[in-house]
Amino acid sequence: MKKINKLLNEENSKLNIKDYILLGIILFIYSIISFINLGSMESPNTFLSIDSTKQIIIELKNSDYVATMKVFSGDRNSQYQIYTSLDNKTYKYINDFEGNGSFSWQNERILETAKYIKILFLDNSDIGEIAFYNNSQKKISIKKITYNNKRITTLTDEENTIPNEVSYMNSTYFDEIYFARTAYEYVNGIKTYEWTHPPLGKLIQAIPIYLTNYMSPFNYRLMGNIAGIIMIAIMYIYAHVLFKKRKYALFASLLMMFDTFHFAHTRMGTVDSYLVLFILLESLFMTKYVKEEKVKCLFLSGLFFGLSISVKWTGFYEGLGLAIIFFTYLIKNKKLKINKIIQGILFFNNNINYTDNISSIISQQKEMYNYHANLKDKHPFSSAWYTWPISYKPVWYHQEILENNTKETISGVGNIVIWWMGIISSIYLVIKAFKKKDITSFILLVSILSLWLPYSFINRVMFLYHFFPVLPFVMLGIVNLFKDMETKFKKNYLILIYLIPVIIFFIVYYPVVSGYAVKIDYINKLKLLSSWIF
């Protein structure tokens, strides 16, 4: 025990081999947890592009009672009508259907005896694979499929990709239907569907798809999950820079490791993981600049600021915070000189754009602004900015009802042991920053406020995930609070006691944030607030 205490309480100005070993163990454990059931590596990748008002005719090997149809939509989501026939002459209308979204499987109920099935497409569509099942859920053999009077095999050439159950493992969910689709379109040179955010995040997301030339849930979620893992490492480094002790660096990384929201959101194929990672890095290097005054740190801070706003415009909020920290530092230390100001301006002018001329840049920015400024749509999972710190209304990303009264669900609910303590620690940051003039508290407080308060002036629909960039700084604020508590009360076990309920919450709520199928009754018992959705 004494050796462990000595290891954790060792003060050192730079990371050493002990830190790297400890951090390596943490990242290894989290990586195993986060990669479990991240997504299927198999998915249909050959598609039939079907024009609006066109149809396909499926001839079954034998007449059979068709209970369900399983169909996979590709880059373009599908709307269609289904008809059945016994003689390929007289067809019976079944229903209108619409796909769940791009790159998604869907079960459709047919419930008719048929030899032929006609699907009339109501819009331009891409279909990857199709299969039919009888009442016993046995696959019905298909004799042939025709499109434009030509026999095709595209829809039956990847039978190994057909899942037993439709789930998040094999289909896009929530905003993946926009971002994963656009990543695929970048790789294949198709006009992009999602244009309301800058392109960098989707380009990063596209890397595994490009390298493997294969579109699958695992590939379009891979880079976000890696970013979530890297964030834990950056938290360790950042806390070490701020507090100079291994114990506090470990504490910070464990807070992020066991935050349920971080786990849920970084495993999803959207771009917020990269946004938060770049924001964390730009803040880390600005902090290192303030403490060490190395020009390369200012350059790196500006570089990651440019990367953050090239993922989402909300990266500008932390840019405001960094400007406050930068100029406060210069004024306080009487270093407000023209060369320092020029350095700051130059290094924070690193906007990265994906276009080839100035007029396109201006047009692109106007279109993005108009979209967000005029977005009046309501959403059942939206929430007000002032409710975010308590994780009042999680964003319900996905659910699938399964057999035996079970379901898989994924909800962006925060670990309230962390989030609610974060409210207390943030208040403490205010006191310490202004009463004791503590620079660490000032940096964390400015980052929290600059990333959170701008949403109070925004009228468009907002969600809990907009609070995601604030979380790392709230967690570092918690480390700051416990560091001072242990120093004042001379109790070295307060952090350990606090971490126990943090870890327990993560374990108990793991099914809610991972999609792991459990009994519905178990999930319902976890709703501590009436507004919690999962």
| Dist. CA 525–CA 512, nearest whole Å | 11
The CATH number assigned to the domain with range 48-161 reads 2.60.120.260
Angstrom distances, CA of residue 426 to CA of 127, 260, 261, 441, 470: 51, 20, 19, 9, 11
Beta bridge pairs of residue 408: 400
One-letter amino acid for residue 306 of the chain: G
Nearest by Cα to 233 from 470, 24, 419: 24
One-letter amino acid for residue 294 of the chain: K
Nearest by Cα to 257 from 223, 281, 233, 226: 233
Nearest by Cα to 220 from 273, 282, 260, 278: 273
Angstrom distances, CA of residue 286 to CA of 300, 421, 534: 8, 26, 39
Angstrom distances, CA of residue 186 to CA of 182, 205, 255, 309: 6, 10, 35, 19
Give the angle 422-423-427 at the CA atoms, nearest 5°: 110
- Asked if 178 and 120 count as a contact pair (C-beta separation under 8 A), the reply is no
Angstrom distances, CA of residue 110 to CA of 91, 93, 122: 13, 10, 18
Which residue's entry shows tokens 């303030």? 290
Count other Cβ atoms within 10 Å, centred on residue 110.
20
Tokens of 439: 């620079």
- Asked if 103 and 74 count as a contact pair (C-beta separation under 8 A), the reply is yes
Q: Which helix (H) or strand (E) holds 66?
A: strand 55-73
Q: What is the dihedral of CA 361, 362, 365, 369, to 10 degrees?
A: -170
Q: Specify burial of residue 285 (Cβ count, 10 A radius: 0-12, 13-18, 19+).
A: buried
Tokens of 433: 């920053």
What are the domain boundaries of the chain? 2-38+218-524, 48-161, 176-217
Count other Cβ atoms within 10 Å, centred on residue 436.
11
Q: What is the dihedral of CA 150, 155, 159, 163, to 10 degrees?
A: -160
pLDDT tens for each residue of the chain, 534 residues long = 666 777 677 777 789 999 999 999 999 999 999 999 999 999 999 999 999 999 999 999 999 999 999 999 999 988 999 999 999 999 999 999 988 889 999 999 999 999 999 999 999 999 999 999 999 889 999 999 999 889 999 999 999 999 999 999 999 999 999 999 999 999 999 988 888 889 999 999 999 999 999 999 999 999 999 999 999 999 999 999 999 999 999 999 999 999 999 999 999 999 999 999 999 999 999 999 998 888 899 999 999 999 999 999 889 999 999 999 988 888 887 766 666 556 656 556 544 444 555 555 555 555 555 554 555 667 788 999 999 999 999 999 999 998 889 999 999 999 999 999 999 999 999 999 999 999 999 999 999 999 999 999 888 889 999 999 999 999 999 999 999 999 999 888 999 999 999 999 999 999 999 999 999 999 999 999 999 999
